[in-house]
Amino acid sequence: MAKVVESDLGSGGSNVLSLDSIRESLIRQEDTIVFSLIERAKFPLNSLAFEESRCLDSGNSSSLTEFFVREIEILQAKVGRYENPEENPFFLDNIPHSVFPTHKYPPALHPKALSVNINKRIWDIYFKELLPLFVKPGDDGNYPSTAASDLACLQALSRRIHYGKFVAEVKFRDAPQDYEPAIRAQDREALMKLLTFEKVEEMVKKRVQKKAETFGQEVKCINGDESEKKYKVDPLLVSRIYGEWLIPLTKHVEVEYLLSRLD
């Protein structure tokens, strides 16, 4: 069995590997996700930025958004972003090494974690299903700012969903006797059942709804008598995005990670 050691887990984490500390991080990530959706909602859909290749460089056939994300990922890789096991690139084919000495993240995950990357799926879902739900239709031509906002959303969503690897690792360590038989049998359904906590999911959906109400409320009057409350992104929609996409994709990552946990 590959060696995985007790270690510090990610951003500002304590060195206790526990389900509570992992959930704390997921709760903090909700703020980033809700804010990134609110920021993206400033712009209309601007689909020309991500749907069509309009690059003037004849050797390049990517959309403006894809070009932007690829270039930013290269830059971020050069300063060590992908040395952090919480970060997963969208374009794996062109990730260079860091050109600076990097922080040595203690190995918290099984080495097979590296092969769990569902960013291609996240990209497709984000542009085809999620974005049209929470931004206005239309085109204002502001593609560079739109692409920057899309990247912020994509990275926040990807980090949250791939955090499933850490959640799965902790659950496995807490109860190997429950998980090992299902892993040996490669039984996805049994694993899904073991790692599901419906009450926690309900709480997450309610909390992000509340965060979207709190962070995204239009504030025009200062004497508190807004006649009708208005939100930059519909709070019920944020809850639905979690319930229908983010939580199921996180669980999918958990299962994929666990399937190789004994390799």
- The residues of the shown chain that bind ligand PRE, judged by CB under 6 A, are 23, 26, 167, 195-197, 200-201, 204, 247, 250-251
Residue in 20, 58, 70, 2 with CA at minimum distance from that of residue 260: 2
What does the alpha-carbon distance between residue 243 and residue 236 come to, in Å, rounded to a whole number?
10
Instruction: State the amino acid at position 252 in one-letter form.
Output: H
Give least dist CB 19 to ligand PRE, A. 6
Task: Return the exposure string of 99-114: e unless at least 16 CB atoms fall within 10 Å of the residue's CB, then b.
Answer: eeeeeebeebbbebbe
Give least dist CB 195 to ligand PRE, A. 6
Give least dist CB 240 to ligand PRE, A. 14
CB-nearest residue to ligand PRE: 250
The residue among 40 and 165 lying less far from ligand PRE, judged by its C-beta, is 165
Give least dist CB 232 to ligand PRE, A. 23
Residues 152, 156, 157: CA angle, nearest 5 degrees: 115
The residue among 72 and 192 lying less far from ligand PRE, judged by its C-beta, is 192
Give least dist CB 181 to ligand PRE, A. 20
The residue among 110 and 251 lying less far from ligand PRE, judged by its C-beta, is 251
- 57, two tokens: 């460089």
The residue among 40 and 251 lying less far from ligand PRE, judged by its C-beta, is 251
What does the alpha-carbon distance between residue 247 and residue 253 come to, in Å, rounded to a whole number?
10
